[in-house]
Amino acid sequence: MSRSNVVWGLVLLFAVLSLLGAIDRPQAWGQEKRQTSPTIKAASLGTPIGADSPIVDAHDRPLPISLPTALRLANGRAIDIALASERIRQAAAQLDRAKVLWLPTVFVGGDYFRHDGQNQATQGDVSGVSRSSLMAGAGPSAVFAFTDAFFAPLSARQVVRARTANLQAATNDTLLAVAEAYFTVQQAQGELAGLDDAAKRAEDLVRRTEKLAEGLVPAVEVSRARADLAERRQDAESAREKLRVASAELLRLLRLDPTAVVQPVEPPHLRVTLIPPDRAVDDLIPIGLTARPELAAQQALVQAALARLRQERIRPLVPSVLLRGASTPVTGTLAGGVFGGGRNDNLSNFSARSDFDVQILWEFQNLGFGNRALIKERRSEHQQSILELFRVQDRVAAEIAQAHAQSQSAAIRAGQAESGLKEAIDSVEKNFEGMGQTKRAGNVILLVIRPQEAVAAVQALGRAYSRYYGAVADYNRAQYRLYRALGEPGQMLADGDNAGSGCVPSASMR
């Protein structure tokens, strides 16, 4: 590796780390304010192949974008986040409605009544009557149930809390999906650049082998080198396809032009450490069980179910008040206003009138058996919400353990793959150097390194590139899964773009 590559790599690493600064994080789900500090670790390969610029075709339309920018776009454009926001508005409207259950409904308008034909008086006499009346006024209509007026706002308020927590959960899930898609694009970019480098080395190997075929090696070695070159080119083209597919998926999540090709600002070898891999999983699980918004949402739903259960338990014991107007007995709406009428179609004698009907009622649904069944139903709903809470807790603990294991494994593999890539590059260079050297065995001149050995070294280099960038991407994806599994707000990552560096601050744990 040339000294210039090492120098440029150190300059890049220093610039990245110098642009990162510690930031304050707001409180999340009732937790104390914590400080963050950057712990981004770059691979020590100088400036690896593919780190300086992605490889795109001339007809591609590159779209440079950094990870924090992608996260901010997702936070403002994602459909799942918009849906969760609308559900909050819906729950808030239901809460507003529950708060005014004690207020009556008021009807304002007029009533015209006409009767022709037989009519029976209160004494029992029947006579032919033709009369009409007109009333203009207003009247209340209300069934004021104390249990509904008291417990419905309590339940609706818990639903609002649940929807608010669900919004944070949707945001975290969306930003995780965007981060994973972004790292997949980075991985594809690195693999494409690495496989393109392997293809160029294979081309160089073909030229070297063709020169040696004039007397030192048989012609079949040239065919072998050319066959390997064709395979390297196919692998590079497959990597290009993978890059375009991964780019289209990321653009779908960001709701951007799908015909563009994403060009990540961060180099594909950059490792993002949000949670130290050596942190004990036993210390992480309690954090997730405290901070995950899904748990906060389910806990609020448990409280809402409990409020509904209490409501049905006391419903038969607390009376309701029925208020309605009686000035229009047929409809029972208007209670007071101006009333007038007369024989036939004569409308006169207008004057004020008011009639109210107020009742206090105890309600026993189906002789009380309906109330009893409803209490059982609400009790079952409450138990179901508790069981669902336990299931969410188990899922949270499992996700933390899984992401922690993936992070540790990927960290080990990334280190091993880095060493393997260094050795593979060194092997190719030494094989190429050895192909130009000869040794004598009796009267026969032999090559120190045969072309087939160099072909094998180039093949190993292609695999090393894929494994290295795959391991780095797996590590970054595992880090973000663990970050999300701990319930950390994804918006904090979107705010981590310091001076356009495109790097993401880490989350320092308690």
Q: 432 with 402, same domain?
A: yes
Do the Cβ atoms of 39 and 22 come closer than 8 Å?
no
Residues 440 and 478 placed together within one structural domain of the fold? yes
**Range with the poorest average pLDDT among 48-57, 84-93, 364-373:** 48-57
Any domain includes 17: no
Mean pLDDT in the chain?
Answer: 82
Q: Tell whether 378 and 366 lie within a shared domain.
A: no
Which domain, by its residues, includes 124?
102-150+317-370
Whole-angstrom distance, CA of residue 210 vs CA of residue 52: 32
Same domain, 257 and 384: yes
Residues 300 and 185 in one domain: yes
Which tokens is 321 given? Answer: 């008040």
- The length of the chain in residues reads 510
Taking the CA atoms of the chain, what radius of gyration do you get in angstroms? 38
Of 50-59, 163-172, 241-250, the least confident? 50-59
Paired tokens of 57: 């075709």
Q: Is residue 475 part of a domain?
A: yes
348 and 381, same domain (yes or no): no
pLDDT tens digit sequence for 1-17: 443 443 334 333 334 33
**H or E stretch covering 118:** strand 105-120
Across the range 31-43, mean pLDDT stands at 36
Mean pLDDT score, 227-233: 94
Residue-level pLDDT at 139: 85
Write a three-state SS string for 347-373: CCCCEEEECEEEEEECCCHHHHHHHHH
Residue 480 and residue 486: Cα distance in Å, rounded? 10
CA 84 to chain centre: 11
Per-residue pLDDT for 510 more than 80? Answer: no
**Residue 193 in this model has a pLDDT that exceeds 90:** yes
Q: 30 in a domain, yes or no?
A: no
Q: Are residues 416 and 436 in the same domain?
A: yes
Q: Is residue 10 part of a domain?
A: no
- Residue 54's SS3 state is coil
Q: Domain total for the chain? A: 2
Q: What is the CATH number of the domain that holds 133?
A: 2.20.200
Query: Is 106 domain-assigned?
Result: yes
Q: How confident is the model at residue 505 (pLDDT cuts 50, 70, 90)?
A: very low
Q: What are phi and psi of 452, to 5 degrees?
A: -65, -30
In a domain, 3, yes or no: no
Is the predicted pLDDT of residue 479 greater than 80, yes or no? yes
Predicted structure pTM score: 0.77
The number of beta carbons lying within 10 Å of the beta carbon of residue 368 is 11
Residue 186, domain CATH: 1.20.1600.10
Is residue 470 included in any domain, yes or no? yes
Q: Is residue 176 part of a domain?
A: yes
